[in-house]
Structure 1
């Protein structure tokens, strides 16, 4: 039987104690340190880049995860990072999720570590226009994730094609839309995500695990970004790495927020090396 791929892997579910069905997909070997993937703002497990995932899954178990209310999962989208973390931890603690003595997670576009600057970026006219648009398009992602250079824009087009390779024909399952795509929910789910970002960036909510508590992290952390990220300013990645005692910092040239898709193979090598202890 062929190994599952991003294009073919079946969606599985874990039911939480409050009755929410959390969706996930498994790829890669059955042993090794599993890597849990949490997607970017408004993204779902149907929108992961096969190139990136397959490079990492060649070396370790990979779990693609939709948190509450996202993508294939049921329930409402959480309106705080603390609630999101609670659901993710419950998923990892479930009897059905892969077991390991250690876990790693890849959070793209996460908010808890960047403080108020991340929320402030949402007031930038271009970022606000595209990140909160009714319909998410290649044009919007080119602006948000990639640099206005020929090389980066070409990488953006290639990424856009790749994330649409999973179809009903390849997987036997229907694709889901981005969070609040078409505003079929009136934008409510997207607003919950924004509320969570705002709260995470507010020093008054430091107890929820915000920027001010980064110094409490006692394990090695890999911080990465593109050279010019207009969504999460690249300098914030430096500040983040300075606050975490065991942090490593990677910055990729001619790239923005979507650096991990533009440099999929190179980034995957760094992630696998980091998780293997370099």
Structure 2
């Protein structure tokens, strides 16, 4: 008798491809339950997520990750404009026949997830934001060390510790090393990294603009839409400092804000099980109003 086949994990599940409005979107999915579509960070690809975080989420969700148009293994025209990234997530949901979903995003992906929520609020049951900012100018702004590190052609473990963890914490440095090893454990079917000439050109396309200019009234909509919103951030968030959210307490009526101590821009990679448990409990216990 043959042993049962082990379920796919994030480190082994194959990349799939689907046609959507003239381009091919590369995506992966694991788990079962309510669909959870995750939008990735700046310079991010399918293999930028920590498999431990995705596997923990898959205990409660059908977890779907993808490469943005023109990046990684997806085809089409690339852009870092949040509206274009949001279109990728919506078109992927359409192509997969998903009517309602939880939308999540990390960093730049959090901007995309907010746009998705504004554009198709009837389809979004919950909004999960990790290491990102609300619409409008940053105050306080990003720390200079972010771009100094993020724009290097190759980011090693030391850079990742600065970018996503808390270098002053021994526990966070140890978590950075473990996450680095998990992310790099996948030996085949990996999305190619984004070349410097590509991500620099995409940044130049946004030169002189606020990181998430609120020209369409996004903040006003999210403040009163009734869709449950969970923000998970570190207390030493160098990209989108946590105080940017503090002014929205009691303004965004469905905002749940969690600031994790001695953590940085990637708390879901530092405490993957805890982050996944928080998200699962949030979705289970907070209903759309």
User: Shorter-chain TM-score: what band?
Assistant: 0.7 to 0.9
- Contact map agreement 1:81 1:196 (CA 8 A) in 2: no
Distance (whole Å) between structure 2 residues aligned to residue 275 and residue 218 of structure 1: 14
- Contact map agreement 1:76 1:189 (CA 8 A) in 2: no
- Contact map agreement 1:40 1:108 (CA 8 A) in 2: yes
1:231 counterpart residue number:
239
- Contact map agreement 2:25 2:67 (CA 8 A) in 1: yes
- 1:210 Cα deviation from its structure 2 partner: 4.7
Structure 1: segments with no counterpart, 5+ residues: none
TM normalised by structure 1 equals 0.84
TM normalised by structure 2 equals 0.81
- Contact map agreement 2:34 2:60 (CA 8 A) in 1: no
- 1:276 Cα deviation from its structure 2 partner: 1.1
2:215 counterpart residue number:
206
1:99 counterpart residue number:
98
Structure 2: segments with no counterpart, 5+ residues: 112-133
1:7 counterpart residue number:
11
Specify whether residues 273 and 197 from structure 1 end up closer, same or farther in structure 2 by C-alpha distance, changes over 3 A only: farther
Distance (whole Å) between structure 1 residues aligned to residue 105 and residue 242 of structure 2: 16
- Contact map agreement 2:34 2:61 (CA 8 A) in 1: yes
Specify whether residues 197 and 88 from structure 1 end up closer, same or farther in structure 2 by C-alpha distance, changes over 3 A only: farther
User: Match of 1:206, SS?
Assistant: coil
Specify whether residues 10 and 196 from structure 1 end up closer, same or farther in structure 2 by C-alpha distance, changes over 3 A only: farther
1:39 counterpart residue number:
40
1:117 counterpart residue number:
138
Specify whether residues 252 and 149 from structure 1 end up closer, same or farther in structure 2 by C-alpha distance, changes over 3 A only: same
Specify whether residues 202 and 87 from structure 1 end up closer, same or farther in structure 2 by C-alpha distance, changes over 3 A only: closer
**Which has more helix, going by share of residues?**
1
- 1:216 Cα deviation from its structure 2 partner: 4.9
1:75 counterpart residue number:
76
Distance (whole Å) between structure 1 residues aligned to residue 165 and residue 212 of structure 2: 28
Matched residue count: 258
